[in-house]
Structure formats: structure tokens, C-alpha cells
């Protein structure tokens, strides 16, 4: 028997509880993992509170990330005793995820934990940090160098934003941070931001198709009017990596940034990224992200704390990264 946070829904009610499961309750897979840590993401908050149709099958163990030790494996590429992690691939949405002390998964979904990270540190990074790295890679692949000009990070106090700032500043970029929590200015500066912008500057709908240029590129975790205003202020031939929808899924803009300035909008879809790109992202995280800096943006909680944390992450009240110790 082991503990897991299970959500369930029928015609009459939705339930979310920490309960004991048996291995026979787990889905099919060729690798069994003793889970050590997970993390809470915006998607997980939606699943635990039943705020959006994130969960595809019922009952479900949420948690779109996990890290732990391989207990059993019939996959020749995955060794018993190996430390592994998983981001995405539908865990916590279509099949049981990381809010559990055991998980049965497909070995092809696993990534070896980089040698200079612990399992806890990989979950301090989690999908948020992995998405940040994919976003940085998108800017680099578009040719945006530190010499091109400042990079804007929206939703800067959150998980994606915090790690994006740290990654960009380490590479020598001038980073501007947009946040609705200006009281976190010292925190954002400690991560490497040089300029703090109140999100109100960008969050209102504008009728102007173009604005004065301010940034060579951006990583946007907000969407909606914010993303539209960011696109309107990007330098010619700049690039915006869009990876979130904290403000909303809508995007009311014009073609002007694209056809009059050659701005590129790159969508970041982290869930089903092919393994080679995942390995590249995690290799870069291992080389570019300072574990000590990671500690300054991380707090650790247990399974039962997820019920309190879920509405907080949906309300934008959580700073940085939140690790879940599933055995606490």
C-alpha cells in the first residue's frame, strides 16, 4: 500500500483526497518508480480544484511531474535503481501522475536525472523550469543574442518566470521582469532582472497595432492582452516565446508586428516534446542553472498541503517553485 492524492468525478460530485492505493490500482507501463518528489503547476491546481477540464480519465492521480528511483523495469533502456524524472507525456491528465508514492509509466517517458541535480532539485525545476529552458532555446534558435537587446519575461514572479530570469541572466541577457507583485522586486533582482515593470503597463487592451519598440524578444507566460501588447513592442525580427495563459487564452492583436516588423511568435508546447529536445533542454539546465540560486526560489511541502496550494497557484499567489515531498 502507498499514499496518493486521488481526484474523482461522477454525475453527482467531485472529490479530491489523499488515500491508500495498491500496485494493482496503477495503470499499465513497463517501469515502476518509487516517487520521491513532484511539484505543483498551474495545471495541477486546475485538476485538484476541478476548475477546468484538465483531467481526461477518472479517477486520476494529478501531478504532471515526478522524480524518483526505478523499482522495477522491463524496459532495456531503463535500469532498476536509476534516478529518473518525467515531465508531461499526459501524466496527471490522461494517466496517473506524480502526486503518489509509486508510479507505473512508460520507460520511454523517463529522463535520467542529471548528475549535478538531486531528484528534489529536478522537481524544483519541474515542467515550469523545463518550459523556461525550451523558451530560451526558442529565442536562441531564432538568433536572439544578448547583444540584440533586452528580453522581457512576463509573469516573472511565478515558476516559469523565475527560472527564465535566472537562465537568461546567466547567459548575459539584460532581463526586464513584468509582475503584478511589485513587492517582489528584490527577489526578481536577485535572480538577475535589471528592470521591474508593473504588469498594469501591459495588461490592458490596446487599440494600437504597434508601439515603440522596447525588447528584442520575450518569454510570455500570461497570454491575452499582455501578449498582444508585448508583440506590439518587439524590435524588428525579434521573437516571442509564448508558454502560458495566466491572464487568458484569448489573443486580440493585428498582423502588424508580423508583417511590418517581422516579429516571430513561437509557441512552446512542453508536454509532447520529442526525447532528443528534452535531453537537450535538461543538459542546458544542468549547465546553466545554479542549484544555489534554485534553492532561493523553492519551498517544499507534503501531499496534504496540495489542497491549500492549489487555489494559491491559480490565484498567482505562489512565488517561484513549489516542491512536493510525497513521502513527507
Q: Per-10-residue mean pLDDT for the chain, 328 residues long? A: 96 93 97 98 95 94 98 97 97 98 98 96 96 98 98 95 96 97 94 96 94 98 97 98 94 97 97 95 96 93 98 90 96
How far is C-alpha 170 from the chain's CA centre? 19
Residues of the chain with CATH 3.40.50.720: 127-267
The pLDDT score that the predictor gives to residue 10 is 87
The pLDDT score that the predictor gives to residue 86 is 98
The SS3 assignment for 31 reads strand
The pLDDT score that the predictor gives to residue 264 is 98
- How far is CA 175 from each of CA 152, 190, 215, 281, rounded to the nearest angstrom? 6, 12, 9, 20
The pLDDT score that the predictor gives to residue 11 is 82
Question: Which cell is 6 given?
Answer: 486521488
Residues of the chain with CATH 3.90.180.10: 2-113+297-325
For the chain, the first-to-last Cα distance in angstroms comes to: 16
The pLDDT score that the predictor gives to residue 211 is 96
The pLDDT score that the predictor gives to residue 52 is 87
The pLDDT score that the predictor gives to residue 301 is 98
Question: Any idea which architecture 127-267 has in CATH?
Answer: 3-Layer(aba) Sandwich (3.40)
| CATH placement of domain 2-113+297-325 | 3.90.180.10
Distance (Å, rounded) from C-alpha 37 to C-alpha 114? 15
Distance (Å, rounded) from C-alpha 281 to C-alpha 286? 9
Predicted structure pTM score: 0.93
Amino acid at each position: 500500500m502507498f499514499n496518493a492524492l486521488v481526484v474523482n468525478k461522477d454525475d453527482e460530485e467531485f472529490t479530491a483526497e489523499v488515500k491508500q492505493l495498491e500496485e494493482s490500482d496503477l495503470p499499465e507501463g513497463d517501469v515502476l518508480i518509487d516517487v520521491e518528489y513532484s511539484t505543483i503547476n498551474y495545471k495541477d491546481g486546475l485538476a485538484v480544484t476541478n476548475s477546468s477540464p484538465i483531467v481526461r480519465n477518472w479517477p486520476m492521480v494529478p501531478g504532471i511531474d515526478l522524480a524518483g528511483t526505478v523499482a522495477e523495469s522491463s524496459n532495456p533502456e531503463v535500469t532498476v535503481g536509476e534516478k529518473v524524472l518525467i515531465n508531461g507525456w499526459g501524466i496527471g491528465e490522461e494517466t496517473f501522475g506524480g502526486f503518489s508514492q509509486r508510479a507505473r509509466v512508460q520507460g520511454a517517458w523517463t529522463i535520467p536525472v542529471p548528475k549535478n541535480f538531486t531528484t528534489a532539485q529536478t522537481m524544483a525545476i519541474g515542467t515550469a523550469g523545463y518550459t523556461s529552458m525550451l523558451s530560451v532555446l526558442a529565442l536562441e534558435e531564432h538568433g536572439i543574442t544578448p547583444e540584440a537587446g533586452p528580453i522581457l519575461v512576463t509573469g516573472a514572479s511565478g515558476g516559469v518566470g523565475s527560472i527564465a530570469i535566472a537562465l537568461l541572466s546567466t547567459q548575459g541577457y539584460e532581463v526586464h521582469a513584468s509582475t503584478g507583485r511589485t513587492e517582489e522586486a528584490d527577489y526578481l533582482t536577485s535572480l538577475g532582472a535589471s528592470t521591474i515593470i508593473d504588469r498594469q503597463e501591459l495588461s490592458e487592451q490596446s487599440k494600437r497595432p504597434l508601439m515603440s519598440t522596447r525588447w528584442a524578444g520575450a518569454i510570455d507566460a500570461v497570454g491575452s492582452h499582455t501578449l498582444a501588447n508585448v508583440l506590439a513592442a518587439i524590435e524588428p525580427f525579434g521573437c516571442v516565446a509564448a508558454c502560458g495563459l495566466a491572464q487568458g487564452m484569448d489573443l486580440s492583436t493585428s498582423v502588424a508586428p508580423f508583417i511590418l516588423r517581422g516579429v516571430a511568435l513561437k509557441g512552446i508546447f512542453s508536454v509532447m516534446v520529442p526525447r532528443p529536445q528534452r535531453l537537450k533542454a535538461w543538459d542546458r539546465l544542468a549547465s546553466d542553472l545554479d542549484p544555489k540560486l534554485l534553492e532561493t526560489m523553492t519551498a517544499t511541502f507534503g501531499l496534504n498541503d496540495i489542497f491549500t496550494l492549489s487555489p494559491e497557484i491559480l490565484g498567482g499567489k505562489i512565488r517561484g517553485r513549489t516542491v512536493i515531498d510525497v513521502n513527507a
